[in-house]
Amino acid sequence: MSAVAAIAFVELRRFLRDKSNLFFVFVFPLVLILLLGSQFGAGSGQAKVAIAGPGSALAQALTAELESAGIEVTATGADAAQADLSRGRTDVGLFLDDADARAYDAGEPAQLDVVMAPQSSGQAVLQQVRTAVQAVGLDRSQLAALTGAGVPDAQAGAALAQAAAQVAVPTVQVVDTDDVVQDFQGLGKFDLGASQQLLLFVFLSSLTGAATLIQARRFGVIGRVMSAPVSSGQVVAGQALGRFAIAFVQGGFIMVGTALLFGVDWGTLWLSALVLVLFCAVSAAAAMMVGAVMDNDTAASGVGVGGGLVLGGLGGCMVPPEFFPATLAAVSYATPHRWAYDALADIQRHGGTLADILPQLGVLAGMAAGLLLLGAWLLRRSLGRAL
Partner 1 sequence: MEAVQVQTRDVLDVSGLVRRFGDLTAVDGVSFQIRAGETYGLLGPNGAGKTTIISMVAGLIPADEGTVRVAGRDMTPAETDAKRAIGLVPQELAIYPDLTARENLKFFGRLQGLAGKDLTRRTNEVLELIGLSDRAGDQTKKYSGGMKRRLNIGIGLLHRPTLLILDEPTVGVDPQSRNSILESVERLSVEGMAVLYTTHYMEEAERLCDRIAIIDEGRIQAEGTRDELITLTGGVDRINLRGGGSTARAADALRGLPAVQHVDNDGAGLMLTVSDGPTALAGIVTGAGAAGMSVTSVEIVRPDLESVFLHLTGKALRD
Contact with partner 1 (CB under 8 A): which of 14, 48, 140, 349?
Answer: 14
Q: Does 6 bind partner 1 (CB under 8 A)?
A: yes
22 touches partner 1 (CB under 8 A): no
Q: Is 1 in the site for partner 1 (CB under 8 A)?
A: yes
Are 145 and 181 in contact by the 8 Å Cβ rule? The answer is: no
Contact between 271 and 357 (Cβ < 8 Å): yes
Residue type, position 334, single letter:
A
| 326: contact with partner 1 by CB under 8 A | no
Q: Which residues of 88-101 are buried (b: 16+ CB within 10 A; e: fewer)?
A: bbbbbbbbbeeebb
Identify the residue among 186, 223, 257, 313 touching partner 1 (CB under 8 A).
Answer: 223
Nearest approach, Cβ of residue 212 and partner 1 (Å): 9
Please report, as a single letter, which amino acid is at residue 386: A
CB of 235 to partner 1, least distance (A): 10
SS3 content of the chain, % helix, strand, coil (to 5): 70, 5, 25
Taking every pair of C-alpha atoms in the chain, what is the biggest distance, in angstroms?
A: 105
Q: Binding to partner 1 by residue 298, rule CB under 8 A? A: no
Among 39, 99, 134, 224, indicate the residue that binds partner 1 (CB under 8 A): 224
Nearer to partner 1, 223 or 366 (CB): 223
- Asked whether the beta carbons of 125 and 49 are under 8 A apart, the reply is yes
User: Is residue 232 close enough to count as binding partner 1 by CB under 8 A?
Assistant: yes
Region of 68-76, 162-170, 172-180, 213-221 interacting with partner 1 (CB under 8 A): 213-221
Q: Does 13 bind partner 1 (CB under 8 A)?
A: yes
Neighbours of 127 (CB within 10 A): 14
- Distance from C-alpha of 349 to C-alpha of 269, rounded to nearest angstrom: 13
Question: Is residue 20 a contact residue for partner 1 (CB under 8 A)?
Answer: no
**CA angle 382-385-387, nearest 5°?**
120
**Which of residues 59, 211, 216, 340 is near partner 1 by CB under 8 A?**
216
Q: Does 24 bind partner 1 (CB under 8 A)?
A: no
Distance of CA 183 to the CA centre of its chain: 14
Nearer to partner 1, 18 or 183 (CB): 18
- Spatial neighbors of 178 by CB under 8 A, at least 6 apart, are none
The minimum distance between CB 125 and partner 1, in angstroms, equals 53
Q: How far is the CB of 77 from partner 1 (least distance, A)?
A: 53
The residue within the footprint of partner 1, chosen from 78, 124, 174, 221 (CB under 8 A), is: 221
Q: Does 17 bind partner 1 (CB under 8 A)?
A: yes
Stretch that binds partner 1, among 63-71, 188-196, 220-228, 278-286 (CB under 8 A): 220-228
Identity of residue 44: S
CB of 22 to partner 1, least distance (A): 13
Q: Which of 175, 229, 260, 270 binds partner 1 (CB under 8 A)?
A: 229
Identity of residue 88: G
User: CA-CA distance, 183 to 160, in Å (whole number)?
Assistant: 43
Which residue lies nearer to partner 1 by CB, 111 or 227? 227
Helix axes 98-105, 57-68, angle to 10 degrees: 80
Q: What angle do CA 145, 149, 155 make, to 5 degrees?
A: 80
Nearer to partner 1, 10 or 365 (CB): 10
In angstroms, the first-to-last Cα distance of the chain is: 25
Which position among 226, 259, 293, 305 is part of the footprint of partner 1 (CB under 8 A)? 226
| Strand positions, DSSP E, the chain | 48-52, 72-76, 92-95, 113-116
- Residue closer to partner 1 by CB (options 163, 387) is 387
Least distance from partner 1 to the Cβ atom of residue 245, Å: 15
Q: Which of residues 140-179 bind partner 1 (CB under 8 A)?
A: none
At 61, the amino acid letter reads A
Binding site for partner 1 (CB under 8 A): 1, 3, 6-7, 10, 13-14, 17-18, 216, 219-221, 223-232, 387
